[in-house]
Structure 1
Amino acid sequence: MMRKHEFLESFDLKGKIAIVLVPTERDAIKLCQGGKFEHFPAPDVLPFEEFPVSFNVRKRRIEVLWKLLKGEKVVVVTTLYSFTRKTISPNDLMSYTLKLRKGAHVEDPIHLLLLMGYERTYIVREGGEYAIRGEIVDLFPPIYKNPVRLDFFENEIEDIRFFDPMTQRTIEKSSEVTILPIREYISENHDADTLPGKYGSNSSLLEYLKDPSVIFVNKEDVFKEYVKIEREMKDILGFKYEEYKRLSSIPLSTFEKLFEKAEEIEYSFETREIYTLPSKKKEKTVPILDIEDIEVGELVVHKDHGIGIFQGIEKVESALGVREYFKIKYEDANLYVPVERLDRIHKYIGDSSEISINKLNDKRWKRTVKRVREDIERRIRELIELYLKRQEVRGLSL
């Protein structure tokens, strides 16, 4: 059987720019182990998650973008998810790249380094760091193997040299150095590392490419993995799918926030006996849904049980103590949901005149959810293929 790297080598990619789309990051890493291809990794955090993207990921992404911006003929291996994520635009990357030479005047270099995402330390040892000692500025740009030392006299660069981060001793002198930003969103507030999903433009990797060849490795799996990640992202963040047609009497928008992976503790009973289902996930302390937005008698939708009628808030005493529950009436029983679990419940927003409520564990509801999921996956596939066609890229599939 032909291996993936052998399959790629069968294409005449010499002197060409090519994008190789693989199902997962693991596939991309394996394919790039020989050093012949460039890995363009996905950001390792979710959009708007309050953690910075790791430096190694930022470094690799910026390196690839820089090579493409310079017009280098490279083969980039990535996932469809990473391929379609927002990133810094080619114009912004060029604008925030500094090419410094001996004798150049630099106004407020510290502000520039902060703006570009560098972090101040006492001694520079890792990528993305900078340090100041008098009129000497040390920094570690992403495209170099070693950090660089700039020796200033007032605002003029007198000397440029690379140094060993461990010994801090000079390795070699240079007449110029290129300093790239190490993040993909530039903010005057210097806080963009906590907003990896927010960018100043809607640019993607595609905007760095001129007439690329696009090669799919296991095309079916590429799309499946993309749909899986997109769905998980929307589940976690509460994002909404838009402009989907109704598949049944229940609007798609009702389902969007309900596709979650974990089962959680629920309390369901017709009498005062409480049945506890095992939880796979730690309880959340802050409910997502605002109780005041729901009135008694209104229809609500539960992720597992479907459409029911909100009956109000009740206090129930059990072995766990007295707790408040969100009471939902179904056709054959009542469902009591702890207030900590309200992220699993959503207000029904469709036409309620012809809607009948479900039974608990209703098979009709499960079939409807499955049908909607399949339709969403199909629509996402269509959008992706349309996206690629509009960009006039040439697709080759395995």
Structure 2
Amino acid sequence: MDLSREIDKVLIVSIIPYFLERENFWFEKNLKKILDARKTQIFWQENTLFLEKNLKISLYFLLRKLDEMGYEKVWQVSQIGEFSQRGGIVDVFPINLNFAVRIEFLGNKIENIFRLPIEIEDEKKEKEILKKRLKSQKIFSDLKGLKPGDYIVHLDHGIGIYNGQETINKEQYYVLEYAQGDKLYVPFGLERKLSRYIGFSEPKISRLGTLTWIKTKKKVKEEAEKFAKELLKIYAKREIVTRPPYLRSEMVKYLKETFPFEETPDQEKAIQDIEKDLEKERPMDRLICGDVGFGKTEVALRAMVRVVESGYQAAMLCPTTILANQHYQNFKKRLKNLPIEFGILTRIQTKKEQKEIIEKLKEGKIDILVGTHRILSKDVEFKRLGLLVIDDEHKFGVRQKEKLKKLRAQLDVLSLSATPIPRTLYLSLSGLREISLIQTPPPGRLPIKTFIFPFSEKIVKEAIEKEMKRGGQVYYLHNRIENINSVKNFLEGLLPNVKFGIAHGRLNEKELVKVMENFQNKKIDVLIATTIIEAGLDLPNVNTLIVADSTKLGLSQAYQIRGRIGRSNVRAFAYFLYPQRLTPLAKERLKALKEAEELGSGYKIALKDLELRGAGNILGKEQSGNINKVGLNLYCQMLAEAIEKLKTK
């Protein structure tokens, strides 16, 4: 170490708003007052450290104190508010200095203090970033409802198991257990260092006192920064592209007046968000997240109509033919009195029909096109495409996503997702991607009455008859294609006057669409189906669901399938049936399902699972692996910081 950089003493202050508001020269100017205050006042004793050569102090005490003062342990110090340790050497970058320092120990005594060649150019900017980090740590460290046995992440020590709270010498601590039975006591007031672990699989418990966690965190942080760069690149490209603002629309006014339901506050907010986007001079890229049946399609339809009235074309891309067909039928009904030309393009149209549609598109004779990924084929050309609506983007393949990425830079894009996303992810992306959340159910929507019974013919018969009496329809979920026909025979024997149909993934697309159309047009009373019904169908007349063996479903899947009914203001009934003999795993699932009935803790587990899926969908496969390594909350915090850092550069 360069001895010319040697210094005798150093003041280190806590990372708290009171100190972040002050410039570094304030600490120099008031050093004597601070040292005097340290002798008598608890605030200054707890929130400052004064180190000098030959001071007797244990290395362990210094590390714990830096931790308590809010400093983050890293592999290598590079910015204010960080510290690292290798053997008897501690590097720290105090928030009250423009440079980092190295403290060398010999036993329990400070042997040397050096100034490191790591400096900051813009003190104000660095402190702003730290303030934001403090704020985000509060958001991401939500410990509400944490129970002993839950996984928890400590920013500096890694993933452990929460073991409750303990009082030691009148001080309260969170107790965390790590590998090999090691325990860590975290004082109350340091919650910002803790976050609940949410991941796709069981995490590996960290070992205290090793560098593994620091290395993992460093790697994930680098990945988050790389990902943030990619996002910003797309964002920057869009910033360059300009287009004339879309006109205010008379047709949209008509749609508002003829909407058969009352708009929810969230729906209104999403519509306003899109209107503002379309009035800007740069293309929109907005994501709308909302539960099934909460009105995302209406929001998208109004955007499409506004674009059409401004002289452009709009397209809606759907992951399945069934869904494309359903949107097409619904749009036609909804817009029948408006001068708008429609088209549908999927693989089940004949070659001749497809050719006709493509020609009309080229000539601008079709205003709104609904279709599957067939829309993205080379032979499909629009005369003047303005808006692309993507329904459930995560269900498309890699090649299609690449194509969408290219389109994104020049088009207005509106993505719809029925999978909720975690609030933490929403907040970390909110500085970058426009997101609207539709979380309020439509008025008059009644909760679904859920029953959990052992399987019996009597229950099946009564449930179907009850629905038939009120003129409704039924989903009967049987998830094994091999014997689905014998289930149909059994049900026909039980209820000879009821019309049954079958839907599963091995039917060819034409047959499947035909079955779904017949069901939609009430030519079928009971649809016997596999989990294919999970994919976004909106049939308000279907208000009874019977699941023949609910032990085969995961909790979030059961929750999503249950969301297929109760789409109107009619009371819906869900019957989750189970076999008489149960395996331990099946018993567990059933117990969770029973809790989910009340929309209580089980519902929250299902929601967590779904939100995790939502996070994976938005961030992609690679980032999902990183989420697993450090937990969703810490990953989102890292991503938010990376985005903030890049944007302030």
Same fold (TM over 0.5): no
Identify the structure with bigger relative contact order (alpha carbons < 8 Å, sequence gap 6+).
1
> Where is the helix percentage greater, Structure 1 or Structure 2?
2
* Larger of the two Rg values belongs to structure: 2
TM-score, scaled relative to structure 2: 0.22
